[in-house]
Each structure stands twice: as C-alpha cells, then as structure tokens.
C-alpha cells in the first residue's frame, strides 16, 4: 500500500512523503514492512515508485511461490533479482514482523540486543542561513539531544561548523555528513574541519568513488571518516575497514537489504573493533521501531539517527516510543515493536494492491 504522510518543521507542514508499506498475511498472523526508499531517485538508486513495481511484479511473487517462508529465506529467494535492496528489506521486515509476532518475540531479542534504551541524535539539513542553523541546534539541545549531525556540501562546510562550535563549544557532540558531495581534490578543504573536534565526517566521497580514494581521504584527515552510502553489505564493510577507508560505520537496514544483513554488518564491526551506529531514512514510526531493535545490539556504541518520527511527521502512523532526553526506549512487544494507529494508516492510504 502507498501512504501520503505530511512532513513538518518548526514552521509547519513543508511537504509530504510518499511511503510504501507491505503487509504480509500468514497462517500465524500478519506482519508489516516499510520501504526506506525516498520519493525521487538521486540520493539512492531506488525510489518509491520503482520499489512498488519491484515488490509487486518481481519480489513478492517469488516469496509467494515458496511453500513456507522464514525471514532467513527471504534474501536467498530474492537473490535472482539484481538490486532493489530497500524493496527486499521491506519484504524481509514484514516476514520478520509476522514470524516474531507468532513466536511472541521482539526483534531486539531475536537479534541479540542487550540494551533497553539507546541514544538518539538529531540530523539537521542545510538551512537558508547560519542563523537558522543555530536556531535548529538550539532547539535540538532544548529537546534533550546531545549529538547533532550537520549536513555539509562544497561552499557550506567550514563556516557553519565554526559557527556551531563558537556558539556551543565542545560540550556538544558534532558530526558532519557530506552525502558524497566531495571529491578527493577537496581534501584540503575538509582537513580544515580537523580543528573543530568533530566526532566524524560521514561519507565525504561518493559511494562509487574507488576504494583507493576513500582510503586516501582517510589518511589525509585526522577526523574519523564514517561510511554510509558505501556500506551495502557485510562483505563490503569488511573490505572498506580492511583498506582503512573508514574508522566508523553507519548501518542502514534498508541500504544493506534488511535487518539480518544489518546484524551481519554489525558483527563485522564488532569483530575488528570499529564503532557503529544506526542510520535512518526519514521512515515512519514503523521502521523507526525496528531500527531501535537493531540499535539495541552492543556494537552500536554511538548515538544513531533514532529520533521518534513525530519529530518530522505531522501525524505518524505509529505510537511514539518512550523518550528520556536523548535516550529512546527499545520496543519489547512481539514483532518489530511498532504499535500502529489504524485510523492514521487508513486516512493516509492513497492506494492498495494485493498480490496473491
């Protein structure tokens, strides 16, 4: 099904997000999955329209062809279809939700989570001015968060970071995210960020950049480099870490094809002592609940992009988790842990298709 969810900011509703949900109906109960793909292609190869088509025409029929299906069966069954990790992750999540509900287990328990509360940080986009950025940081700190992530790009990097540090000093954990907008030739510019005591610089180079370029950037900068878009599987994570292309890993379940592969990426990081954190894709509270279950694993030692969806959605489809300042409670209910609001789901739904 497709949903239309309004975005909001401190200034009111600023747009809408097109959401793809999948509901799996089994003999043991139903399960829900959410696709993390954005509305338009660009940031990723995937987008909601393409994911919808892939699920309906290529992926769901392969699962339905199985006589029985566990979450571990999803990836092998869909492996013949090239690409579409976010669409595949959506189906895996729905099967996980259904099977866990039937077994009375939470996602955190299945994965081996050890914590009941995890720390969330706030991610801030590129505003219209430095004053607006400082206002946004002030609001985040006022809400109790202790880590802020600033989006940067060529021409918007040194000045905004300097302004935040001058205003708030080093008491605030600050990291920046380049979203792959820099080249190796920008190393001298990014090296200026070393003076600000940042927790990390996330994905400065495009994911498609050669491995040698990522490694060279890591040598050039004192600030730890975190890779996000480049991490598409546990095998790739191991390769990047071995090449010293990153010192931190951002794990996004949708990007790596699901929560079971995300757990394997986590295990790679733990094995070699590389810190990890759980990223987000502006999902609804459904996927945010599952992300909290993943982030309960011991290897997620850094604050993740785990703020409740009500921070940026006008009327979320799930009940928000409990929060104490920067700490967010990990769901313990069977399944992925989300408590859906049926009336919101119904009012936000724009289309429904059934695949049998």
Q: What string of H, E and C letters represents the secondary structure of the chain?
A: CEEEEEEEECCEEEEEEEEEEEEEEECCEEEEEECCCCCCCCCCCCCHHHHHHHHHHHHHHHHHCCCCCCHHHHHHHHCCCCCCHHHHHHHHHHHHHHHHHHHCCEHHHHHCCCCCEEEECEEECCCCCHHHHHHHHHHHHHCCCCEEEEECECCECHHHHHHHHHHHCCCCEEEEECCCCCCHHHHHHHHHHHHHCCCCEECCCCCCCCHHHHHHHHHHCCCCEEECCCCCCHHHHHHHHHCCCCCEEEECHHHHCCHHHHHHHHHHHHHHCCCEEECCCCCCHHHHHHHHHHHCCCCECCCECCCCHHHCECCCCECCCCEECCEEECCCCCECCCCECHHHHHHHEEECCCCC
Under 8 Å between Cβ of 260 and 112:
no
| 88 in active site | no
- Annotated catalytic residue: which of 88, 149, 252, 263? 252
Residue 149 annotated as catalytic: no
Catalytic hit among 88, 149, 151, 263:
151
Residues annotated as catalytic are 151, 252
């Amino acid at each position: 099904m497709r949903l239309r969810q309004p975005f909001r900011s401190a200034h009111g509703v600023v747009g809408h997000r097109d959401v793809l949900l999948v509901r799996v109906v089994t003999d043991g109960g139903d399960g829900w999955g959410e696709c993390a793909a954005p509305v338009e292609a660009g940031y990723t190869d995937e987008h909601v329209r393409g994911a919808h088509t892939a699920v309906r025409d290529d992926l769901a029929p392969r699962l339905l062809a199985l006589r029985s299906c566990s979450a571990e069966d999803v990836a092998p069954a869909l492996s013949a279809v090239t690409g579409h990790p976010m669409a595949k992750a959506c189906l895996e999540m729905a099967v996980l939700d259904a099977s866990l509900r039937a077994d009375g287990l939470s996602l955190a328990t299945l994965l081996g989570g050890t914590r009941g509360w995890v720390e969330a940080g706030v991610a801030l986009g590129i505003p219209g001015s430095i004053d607006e950025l400082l206002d946004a940081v002030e609001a985040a700190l006022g809400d109790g968060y202790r880590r802020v992530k600033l989006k940067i790009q060529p021409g918007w990097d040194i000045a905004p970071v300097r302004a935040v540090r001058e205003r708030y000093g080093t008491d605030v954990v600050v990291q920046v995210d380049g979203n792959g907008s820099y080249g190796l030739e920008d190393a001298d510019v990014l090296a200026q960020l070393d003076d600000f005591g940042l927790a990390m610089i996330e994905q400065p180079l495009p994911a498609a950049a050669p491995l040698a370029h990522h490694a060279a950037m890591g040598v050039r900068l004192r600030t730890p480099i975190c890779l996000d878009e480049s991490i598409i599987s546990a095998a790739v994570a191991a390769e990047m870490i071995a090449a010293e292309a990153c010192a931190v890993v951002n794990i996004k379940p949708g990007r790596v094809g699901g929560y079971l592969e995300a757990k394997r990426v986590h295990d790679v990081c733990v094995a070699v002592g590389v810190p990890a954190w759980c990223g987000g894709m502006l999902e609804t509270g459904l996927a945010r609940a599952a992300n909290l279950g993943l982030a309960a694993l011991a290897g997620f030692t850094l604050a993740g992009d785990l703020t409740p969806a009500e921070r940026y959605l006008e009327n979320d489809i799930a009940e928000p988790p409990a929060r104490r300042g920067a700490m967010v409670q990990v769901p313990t209910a069977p399944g992925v842990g989300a408590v859906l609001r049926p009336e919101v789901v119904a009012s936000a739904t724009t289309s429904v298709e059934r695949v049998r």
